[in-house]
Amino acid sequence: MPSWIDSANEAGCDFPVQNLPFGVFSKGSEQPRCCSAIGNRVIDLAALEEASVLDAGGDGSVFGEPSLNAFMALGPKSWASVRARLTSLLRKDGDPALRESVALKGKTLVPMDQVQMHMPFQVADYTDFYSAKQHAFNVGTMFRGPENALPLNYLHIPIGYNGRASSVVVSGTEFRRPLGQLKAPDADAPRFGPCERLDFELEMGAVVGTPSTFGEPVSVAEADEMIFGYVLLNDWSARDIQAWEYVPLGPFQAKATATTISPWVVAKAALEPFRAPAPEREKPLLPYLDDPAPRNYSITLETALQPEGQAESRLSQTNAKYLYYSAAQQLAHHTSSGCPMRTGDLLGSGTISGPDKAQWGSLLELSWGGKEPFALAKGGERSFLEDGDTLTLRGWCEGDGYHIGFGECAGKVLAALNAK
């Protein structure tokens, strides 16, 4: 299905007409507003709405908002209708309303290199799961040996914890290396200083579009209907701060410095052709988590590191299909206690590592706890992140003659403040 916008039809383009992801952009000093993407262009959805060429079905302007939340809250019917309308406006043989209006094209299609991307939605609550079994196995093996690697509950429950919504930032945001309490194993007391074991975590994030009700659990199938789309997600982690703080209530400041997401939310509908079955169940799941439908996705995921002023080296390449629990299962579990979900909730998948070392999603794993520094293809090595490092996640699905991309999810580590 080619588009009349040529750049959308090029091989390897992240944003063909089959994708149509959603985000928030601004140009110069203009107000941020909602957009989609086609080829090398951002599509100004607020301009299309204002020209009465696009209607999400909400009250007033939905796409003029500086976040996708109003659109996401309209639910699956609106999402499907907007997607169908955009597809028709952008495919070669579709509705001519945009294609044949020079004025509207000029207003609506903005070269990507002229825009600033913003947080695509306002995060309500942020939850991070632990759903890639290989990652849990790797971490468990480092700390407890391979026999006791997986927590006893792992094969029964989607383990997760609440993260910090205020520190979720959009790709491109630089951040300072965190300060925190660090305690050497042989020290009597902790000291306060810059993190020495700063890491990334390759994850996917599911974005909740429609809410659930206080006190009302939802089924896995209902949960899947609530999901608007997916982002790439990097949950930056201070491994040394975590080691000291996490007993008995879990990670806290080690995960609070920043969590970076891609500026593009790829709609669930665009990923539908790439559904994949869940990994084989080693133990039967309780009925509330059971799901005959394939709710995983086959999404190729890549991590790359660029030291300051040097060339980028790929670290690993894995796939979202390795997740033991799908986002729909995570979400159903999340409501099992009666906990209400809201528009803008973000669910991190957990670090996605595949079976082979080349498929591992963190430096903790790639350097085996810092004991085996990872050699960068373009020179140098890393146990953990250094100041000036830029870490980039990329992700895409390979379709028949097209490619559904997530764009990039990148962040750069700056030097720490002086500890007081």
Q: Using the rule CB under 8 A, give the single segment among 12-20, 44-52, 305-313, 335-343 that binds its own copies.
A: 335-343
How far from chain centre, in Å, is Cα 164?
A: 15
Residue among 147, 186, 189, 272 that touches its own copies (CB under 8 A): 189
Residue among 161, 302, 373, 380 that touches its own copies (CB under 8 A): 161
- CB of residue 208 to its own copies, shortest distance in Å: 10
**Do you know the residue count of the chain?**
420
Residue among 178, 395, 407, 411 that touches its own copies (CB under 8 A): 178
Per annotation, catalytic residue among 135, 333, 334, 403: 135
Q: Look up residue 85 and give its two tokens.
A: 């309308």
Q: Is 157 helix (H, G, I), strand (E, B) or coil?
A: coil
Q: Using the rule CB under 8 A, give the single segment among 42-50, 104-112, 178-186, 379-387 that binds its own copies.
A: 178-186
How far from chain centre, in Å, is Cα 78?
A: 23
Q: Using the rule CB under 8 A, give the single segment among 75-83, 97-105, 165-173, 296-304 that binds its own copies.
A: 165-173
- CB of residue 343 to its own copies, shortest distance in Å: 11
> Please, what is the Cα angle at 185 between 252 and 189, to 5 degrees?
75
β-pair partners for 403:
398
The values of phi and psi at residue 77, to 5°, are: -65, -45
Residue among 107, 275, 339, 386 that touches its own copies (CB under 8 A): 339
- CB of residue 139 to its own copies, shortest distance in Å: 8
> Whole-angstrom Cα distance, residue 188 to residue 417?
25
Helix (H) or strand (E) holding 339: none
Taking only Cα atoms into account, the Rg of the chain, rounded to an integer number of angstroms, comes to 22
Nearer CB in complex with its own copies: 139/299: 139
Q: Look up residue 416 and give its two tokens.
A: 């720490």
Instruction: Please report, as residue ranges, which positions from 237 to 296 form the binding site for its own copies (by CB under 8 A).
Output: 238, 241, 244-254, 256-258, 283, 286-288
Q: Is 400 helix (H, G, I), strand (E, B) or coil?
A: coil
- CB of residue 284 to its own copies, shortest distance in Å: 8
Contact 205, 259 (CB under 8 A): no
Q: Is 23 helix (H, G, I), strand (E, B) or coil?
A: strand
Residue among 342, 373, 388, 399 that touches its own copies (CB under 8 A): 342
Q: Using the rule CB under 8 A, give the single segment among 29-37, 112-120, 216-224, 295-303 that binds its own copies.
A: 216-224
Beta carbons within 10 angstroms of residue 141's beta carbon: 17
- Residue reference for tokens 């810059």: 194
Q: Judged by CB under 8 A, does residue 336 bind its own copies? A: yes
Q: Judged by CB under 8 A, does residue 233 bind its own copies? A: no
47 Cβ contact list (under 8 Å, min separation 6): 104, 107, 108
Q: Judged by CB under 8 A, does residue 11 bind its own copies? A: no
Contact 209, 69 (CB under 8 A): no
Instruction: Please report, as residue ranges, which positions from 118 to 137 form the binding site for its own copies (by CB under 8 A).
Output: 124-125, 130
Q: Judged by CB under 8 A, does residue 176 bind its own copies? A: yes
Q: Judged by CB under 8 A, does residue 105 bind its own copies? A: no
Positions of E strands within 147-285: 160-162, 168-170, 175-176, 179-182, 191-194, 198-199, 202-208, 227-235, 237-238, 259-261, 266-267, 275-276
Burial class (CB in 10 A: 0-12, 13-18, 19+), 3: buried
Q: Judged by CB under 8 A, does residue 217 bind its own copies? A: yes
Nearer CB in complex with its own copies: 11/189: 189
Q: Could you tell me which of 194, 239, 181, 182 has the C-alpha nearest to residue 418?
A: 194
- CB of residue 175 to its own copies, shortest distance in Å: 6
Nearer CB in complex with its own copies: 54/289: 289
Q: Judged by CB under 8 A, does residue 207 bind its own copies? A: no
Q: Judged by CB under 8 A, does residue 190 bind its own copies? A: yes
Q: Quick check: is 135 catalytic?
A: yes
Q: Judged by CB under 8 A, does residue 197 bind its own copies? A: no
How many helices (H) and strands (E) in the chain? 11, 26
Contact 27, 110 (CB under 8 A): yes
Q: Which residues are catalytic?
A: 135
Residues that bind its own copies (CB under 8 A): 124-125, 130, 151-153, 156-157, 159-167, 169, 175-176, 178-181, 183, 189-192, 214-217, 219, 238, 241, 244-254, 256-258, 283, 286-288, 333-334, 336-342, 345, 417, 419-420
